[in-house]
Amino acid sequence: MKILTLLKVLSLFSFSLVPPAVYAREPQIKVEQVLQTTKAWDGSRYTGYPTGQPQVTVLKITIPPNTILPWHRHPMINVAYVLSGHLR
């Protein structure tokens, strides 16, 4: 029990170590659309969805180092591939 309390206190303290300027500035995230299509590589239309025409969009997203993004959700299936660096 003491360990859990200590962990809670340390996690709260860790947020105070981040300089306010980090939260104040907007990250300069760069988004480039590489592809947007409703067809597969062979020209056939994507099928198998309950409603509407499926569409694939490929984006190249550049996130500067040390950028803190808010927790969020995506309303559709998505995949990410990290070309360099790492995400935590």
Q: Decide: pTM greater than 0.75.
A: no
40-72 residues labelled b (16+ CB within 10 A) or e (exposed): eeeeeeeeeeeeeeeeeeeeeeeeeeeeeeeee
pLDDT tens for 41-66 read 999 988 877 788 888 889 999 999 88
How far apart CA 14 and CA 2 sit, in angstroms, is 18
Give the ranges where the chain is alpha helix by DSSP (H): 2-16, 20-24
Q: What percent of the chain has pLDDT over 70?
A: 69
Q: Is the pLDDT of residue 6 over 70?
A: no
Q: Is the pLDDT of residue 10 over 50?
A: no
Domain boundaries, the chain: 26-88
Q: Is the pLDDT of residue 33 over 80?
A: yes
Place of tokens 């808010």: 70
Q: Is the pLDDT of residue 3 over 90?
A: no
